[in-house]
Structure 1
Amino acid sequence: MGASASSQLDEGKCTYIRGKTEAAIKNFSPFYSRQYSVAFCNHVRSEVEQQRDLTSQFLKSKPPLEPGTVLYEAELTQFAEDIKKWKERYVVVKNDFAVESYENKEAYQRGAAPKSRILPAGGKVLTSEDEYNLLSDRHFPDPLASNEKENAQPFVVLPKEYPVYLWQPFLRHAYFCFHEATDQKKFSALLSDCIRHLNHDYMKQTTFEAQAFLEALQFFRQEKGHYGSWEMITGDEIQILSNLVMEELLPTLQTDLLPKMKGKKNDRKRAWFGLLEEAYNLVQHQVSEGLSGLKEECRALTKGLEGTIRSDMDQIVNSKNFLTGKIKAMVAQPVEKSCAENVQPFLASILEELMGPVSSGFSEIRSLFEKEVDELNQSFQTTQDSAQLKERLDQLMNLPLDSVKMEACYVQVSPLQERLQDLKSRFRFPHVNLVVQRTQNYMQELMENAVFTFEQLLSPHLQGEASKTTVAIEKVKLRVLKQYDYDSSTIRKRIFQEALVQITLPTVQKALASTCKPVSGWVTPERPL
């Protein structure tokens, strides 16, 4: 995969990027292989012992949407990067959260390939030119900026009044425009939903392979002295590992290539963003191949071990318990000392700051559900039209996917960004937005379960007399609200526990690093740039 004719990366730079990527995969491989074996062993043990999730909930879990379910489709104005012009495009977003753009609606309906396909993992949505310029400038360390007068020209000239900017760290940014503020609001809220899911859905996977990857990544970064959260754990495993490579590549690309860029500031910015995308695509291609080969090696190894693990499970469990006890005895005293000095004094204040916004978010979800059901019931009392009731019930089922209505609930959690600012210095926890987005995903999941449970409990009462149906709607609503309150309390406790561990654990890990650090060899590529 060499440099193309229009490439800004010559063969020497491509070779360096390949070498850097290959080194990262080689260095990551031992961590992944080790955690793969551990996760596989735990997976087999859970099968043998038939372990079950002990988490209890009252609301029924809504089944996942069918693959290919359309969440959004509309004709809008999009900046076409290939021809550097604004074009009317038919944009479709399905429940894989990719933003697909087609020439027109007819092209989409006949199954034509999309003109562009964007996975906005790790992205940020902005709706004003000033906000976008501030963010894009922050990620364009221009060496000529101090010698150049402020460029008054907009980065992209807007054809309509209401823009939506999609910023991504290593990909060209996407630009959309609307005539109406309501359309802008709907699309920007939807994009934010897509980003939240793409950032966190992979981390929610329960497969042992996903657990092995995330644990291996944690140990891999700890080996380099990086503890705690990492903002670039977004997307799937290929994107995450590619982000890690790009993070290491970025300083070299900035030093060697930015000073060589000519032209006005906006031209240099475009060239820089294009260069990053080109490098990122090159890295992703190689990471995909390398990770695929690594997985096949691990699968072959564990396939040969499965019989041994099953036959020796008792001995393995006893050995594991014995080793766990030895490790606990070794680290107990320094852990207790570190917690008493550096964690315990701050837990109450952190929890207090967490509780307000998180509880407000779940209260807002509850209020929205209750309001929508009350409006449904009032409408039916007026019309007594069963067909219309069914239509309103279908709308209620789609409430968790209504990005605009749900955003009013999600914003209740946003103050965490301000309230937990001091964590950046005290606990070196700069990525509060990860806690915010994870909480918002829990909120959406709970709303899904609430409307699904309401529909399931109400269904047997839909064929009776109108007066009895209205009574049933009220009774079912109150029952669902009680179940919601229980599940909401359970989930909030989980959020608080996860957040407290995520915020404070790195401090303890760093304190123990000198005595518990494993030995590992590293591959370092040559630097020909």
Structure 2
Amino acid sequence: RRGHGGKRAETGPCARGKTEAVIKNFSPHYRRQYAVAFCRHVQRELEQHRDSQSQFLKSKPPVEAGTVLYETEVLHFAEDLKKWKDRYVVVKNDYTVDCFETKEAYQKGASPKYHILPAGGKVLTSEEDYNLLSDKHFPDPVGSNEKEAAQAFVQLPKEFPVYLWQPYFRHSYYCFPEPGAQKQFSAALNDCVRHSNHDFLKQTTYEVEAFLEAIQFFRQEKGHYGTWEMITGNEKQILSNLVMEELLPNLQTMILPKMKGKRNDRKRAWFGIVEETYGLVQQQVSEELSTLKEECRDFAKTLEGTIRSDMDQILNSKNFLAGKIKATVSEPAQKCCTENIQPFLTSILEELMGPVSSGFTEVHSLFDKEVNEIIQNFQKTNDTTKLKENVDQLMTLPFNSVKMEPCYLKVNLLQELLQDLKSRFKVYHIDFVVQRTQNFMQELMENAVYTFEQLFSPSRQADSAKVATTIEKVKLRVLKQYDYDSSTVRKKIFQEALIQITLPTMQKTLASTCKPGLERIVKKKARTKERSLRKGLLHRMKTQ
């Protein structure tokens, strides 16, 4: 990185200016959607709506914070030292990756040497795949000769590497002496990436709803419809990704042509500059988002009394406006659906059903296999203490990345099968459907093993001769419940995926023809509502 400090100095003002501009343009969307989401929240509270979706399996309570899911000794490339060092990696149930100097340092409570938030990352296990991906994100204007291109970016001390690529962080490099350890670590990292990407998105608070809707409207205003691959991580990360999406082309134009030296040195320096810029952006985003949220919370407090007292009037106005909008868009929407969407729905659904259903079937088979092994082991040993250990081990199955990975891989086939969606529906990011499905699979496995534990307790088995029969009965009962719940979840996945894939086509088609008319309707309704509120306020002042 030496010799490029001046380039970094240039990025600060550029990053601050772009961040301010993005936050300024994002804020009106967030304020509006915050009010809308808060109103929905109060409505749900008043109407006491409950989730009507039924399930047979018992829901596993959340794992205690700080629970260790995976730990191992690794060879890790220390970027600051340019050397491979023995480290101790720990993954807890927040799915971040902590890298300690030694196992002893971790056990003594020392701070990690590196703390990695893997949202948006990709895990690779071959040097060739890593080079292809990293080169895509280093648009080198100088180019390289054949000799430079052949040089390894990081020299590997062992045969089995694992690379964690991240879009705006410098990448992490690990090495193992044998393939089994490589497989365990890469599977654990994939779990971390998947959860880091989606655990924030599945929160159901009105603040999260408001944020995600604001991001959607902000991007639509710029002509971007459909899913965005950088909707990964928490609010700070997502909004920072939004800034970087606009900032990165400027950085490339401003800095890359001025960089000198060997290709790998320039590449390494570029990744360092991107990481430091992202750090500056995140810091500013965190401060400004915190101020914006506080402002919205204060505003929501002033609204709450009015919303609660005037909920009937608000709902009537909402329904009236919805009717006006429906009348405006109904005909062109129907036309778009008939011509551009409906003919393809059946084929899309068929492509979705195969991999998704086979993934859930694989989870069914894995649970069945693991319980059968418990039965066989007990029949051989007749040891109730060992039986309890085996049942306790079953509880960790959803977090056993290597055993669960074959289930997840079934769903990965969607990446290949849905390739034609890229041209037909402009869907470039199917990872969202894949990873969300895999999270559902893990959740159902958690519920299955938890339900098994609740229905079968080794310590309560008085007659050891009947234990194997009891386990078999409990297993069949759990599998029956699992099949029902997985069917319900799959329907939800298919419905959400079809909407995600096809809705952008309709939005883009309707935007040019319907948007002006809709804006006039909304503005007219807003003026009417404002006059009504003023009259109500004047009436209250007079009566007081």
TM-score band, normalised by shorter chain: over 0.9
Task: Find out whether 1:320 has 2:318 as its counterpart.
Answer: yes
**Is the 1:76–1:88 Cα contact (8 Å) retained in structure 2?**
yes
Find the counterpart in structure 1 of residue 195 from structure 2: 197
Amino acid at match of 1:427: F
Q: Quick one: distance in 2 between partners of 1:16 and 1:196?
A: 32
Find the counterpart in structure 2 of residue 186 from structure 1: 184
Residue 64 of structure 1 deviates from its aligned partner by: 1.0
Q: Quick one: distance in 2 between partners of 1:469 and 1:383?
A: 12
Residue 9 of structure 1 deviates from its aligned partner by: 4.2
Equivalent residue runs for 1:280-291 within 5 Å: 280-291=278-289
Counterpart among 356, 359, 371 of residue 358 in structure 1: 356
Counterpart among 262, 265, 268 of residue 264 in structure 1: 262
Residue range with higher mean Cα deviation, 282-291 or 147-156: 147-156
Find the counterpart in structure 1 of residue 229 from structure 2: 231
Residue 463 of structure 1 deviates from its aligned partner by: 2.6
**TM-score (norm. length: structure 1):** 0.95
Find the counterpart in structure 2 of residue 408 from structure 1: 406
Q: Percent identity over the alignment?
A: 70
Find the counterpart in structure 2 of residue 144 from structure 1: 142
SS in 2 for 1:400: helix
Amino acid at match of 1:324: A
Find the counterpart in structure 2 of residue 371 from structure 1: 369
Amino acid at match of 2:337: C
Q: Quick one: distance in 2 between partners of 1:68 and 1:146?
A: 46
RMSD between aligned residues? 1.5
Residue range with higher mean Cα deviation, 458-467 or 363-372: 458-467
Residue range with higher mean Cα deviation, 450-459 or 497-506: 450-459
Deviation digits for residues 206-257 of structure 1 (CA, Å, limit 9, x no counterpart):
0000000000100110000000010010100110111111111111111111
Q: Quick one: distance in 1 between partners of 2:415 and 2:16?
A: 37
Find the counterpart in structure 2 of residue 522 from structure 1: none
Q: Quick one: distance in 1 between partners of 2:292 and 2:67?
A: 33
Q: Which has the higher contact order (CA 8 A, sep 6+)?
A: 1
Q: Quick one: distance in 2 between partners of 1:65 and 1:5?
A: 48
**Is the 2:11–2:251 Cα contact (8 Å) retained in structure 1?**
no
Q: Quick one: distance in 2 between partners of 1:32 and 1:5?
A: 41
Change (3 A) 1:335 1:84: same
Counterpart among 73, 76, 83 of residue 75 in structure 1: 73
Structure 1: any 5+ residue segments left out of the alignment?
A: 520-529
Q: Quick one: distance in 1 between partners of 2:10 and 2:429?
A: 35
Q: Quick one: distance in 2 between partners of 1:267 and 1:388?
A: 56
Residue 348 of structure 1 deviates from its aligned partner by: 0.3
**Is the 2:194–2:439 Cα contact (8 Å) retained in structure 1?**
yes
Residue 7 of structure 1 deviates from its aligned partner by: 4.0
Residue range with higher mean Cα deviation, 320-329 or 264-273: 320-329
Amino acid at match of 1:516: K
Amino acid at match of 2:186: S
Residue 128 of structure 1 deviates from its aligned partner by: 0.9
Change (3 A) 1:84 1:147: closer
Equivalent residue runs for 1:295-334 within 5 Å: 295-334=293-332
**Is the 1:462–1:469 Cα contact (8 Å) retained in structure 2?**
no
Q: Quick one: distance in 1 between partners of 2:8 and 2:390?
A: 59
Residue 150 of structure 1 deviates from its aligned partner by: 4.5
**Is the 1:461–1:472 Cα contact (8 Å) retained in structure 2?**
no
Residue 476 of structure 1 deviates from its aligned partner by: 0.7
SS in 1 for 2:201: helix
Find the counterpart in structure 2 of residue 429 from structure 1: 427
Structure 2: any 5+ residue segments left out of the alignment?
A: 520-544
Counterpart among 445, 457, 460 of residue 459 in structure 1: 457
Task: Find out whether 1:472 has 2:440 as its counterpart.
Answer: no
**Is the 1:461–1:469 Cα contact (8 Å) retained in structure 2?**
no
Deviation digits for residues 110-143 of structure 1 (CA, Å, limit 9, x no counterpart):
2111111001110000111111111111111111
Report how many residues are paired. Answer: 516
Residue 8 of structure 1 deviates from its aligned partner by: 4.8
Residue 459 of structure 1 deviates from its aligned partner by: 2.2
Q: Quick one: distance in 2 between partners of 1:81 and 1:147?
A: 25
Residue 6 of structure 1 deviates from its aligned partner by: 7.8
Find the counterpart in structure 2 of residue 516 from structure 1: 515
Counterpart among 14, 20, 23 of residue 21 in structure 2: 23
Find the counterpart in structure 2 of residue 523 from structure 1: none
Amino acid at match of 1:89: R
Find the counterpart in structure 1 of residue 131 from structure 2: 133
Counterpart among 163, 176, 180 of residue 165 in structure 1: 163
Q: Quick one: distance in 2 between partners of 1:394 and 1:256?
A: 57
**Is the 1:435–1:499 Cα contact (8 Å) retained in structure 2?**
yes
Find the counterpart in structure 2 of residue 273 from structure 1: 271
Residue 383 of structure 1 deviates from its aligned partner by: 1.1
Change (3 A) 1:277 1:10: closer
Task: Find out whether 1:504 has 2:515 as its counterpart.
Answer: no
**Is the 2:123–2:189 Cα contact (8 Å) retained in structure 1?**
yes
Deviation digits for residues 364-401 of structure 1 (CA, Å, limit 9, x no counterpart):
00000000001111111111111111110011110000
Counterpart among 64, 69, 87 of residue 89 in structure 1: 87
Amino acid at match of 1:20: K
Amino acid at match of 1:179: P
Counterpart among 445, 466, 476 of residue 447 in structure 1: 445
Q: Quick one: distance in 2 between partners of 1:225 and 1:26?
A: 18
Counterpart among 227, 237, 240 of residue 238 in structure 2: 240
Find the counterpart in structure 1 of residue 523 from structure 2: none
Q: Quick one: distance in 1 between partners of 2:120 and 2:461?
A: 47
Residue 341 of structure 1 deviates from its aligned partner by: 0.5
Q: Quick one: distance in 2 between partners of 1:372 and 1:254?
A: 52
Residue 73 of structure 1 deviates from its aligned partner by: 1.2
Counterpart among 377, 394, 397 of residue 396 in structure 1: 394
**TM-score (norm. length: structure 2):** 0.93
Residue 470 of structure 1 deviates from its aligned partner by: 1.4
